Amino acid sequence: MFAADLSAPVWAVEVHDPVAPAAYSTWVPIVGGALLVLIGAWLWWVFWHTRERPFDSKEGRGDRFSGLRQRTLADIAQAEERYREGATDLRTLHLDLNHIMREFANGRLRMDTSSLTVGEIARIEGTDRLSSLLTEYEEPAFAVDSDAEALAATTNAKAVVEQW
């Protein structure tokens, strides 16, 4: 056998033949594979259930904003009816339509748009028609005298609600 000289400090250890590493237990690759399958299934579920779906009458799936659209269209019709009856003036009609359209945007964008300016709303993707409509409502809502038309205002609001 080899006799070591212990009078000097030992800085290295003699290396013998390498030892084979210990094998994994059987359950380790099984659990790893199961975790990969679960992660894949979760990703599939998230992508499948959160994607945007167009209306498909064959499958019976509708627009998820159909209830919001119907309520908004009813509110627009009520505001127009109040204007036709003489209960409100042109300025109040445009203020009402502005409020109704911002409430519709709250439901569509899932964020509070009541305190956003029209420029801030315009920076949000997909709000081009809404922001141009709200810009049209600014002048009659705040001007002393306006040449805006009530029928055009309500027709444009209905068009934005139906197409967005």
Give domain status of residue 4, yes or no: no
Task: Quickly state the pLDDT bin for 32 (edges 50, 70, 90).
Answer: very high
Give domain status of residue 154, yes or no: yes
Give domain status of residue 15, yes or no: no
Count up the domains in the chain and report the number: 1
Domain range enclosing 73 = 66-163
Give domain status of residue 138, yes or no: yes
Helix, strand, or coil (residue 56): strand
Mean pLDDT of the chain: 83
Nearest CA-CA partner of 107 in 164, 48, 47, 44: 164
Average pLDDT rounded to a whole number, residues 81-100:
90
* Per-residue pLDDT tens digits for 57-90: 455 556 778 888 999 999 999 999 999 998 988 8
Joined tokens for residue 93: 């009609």
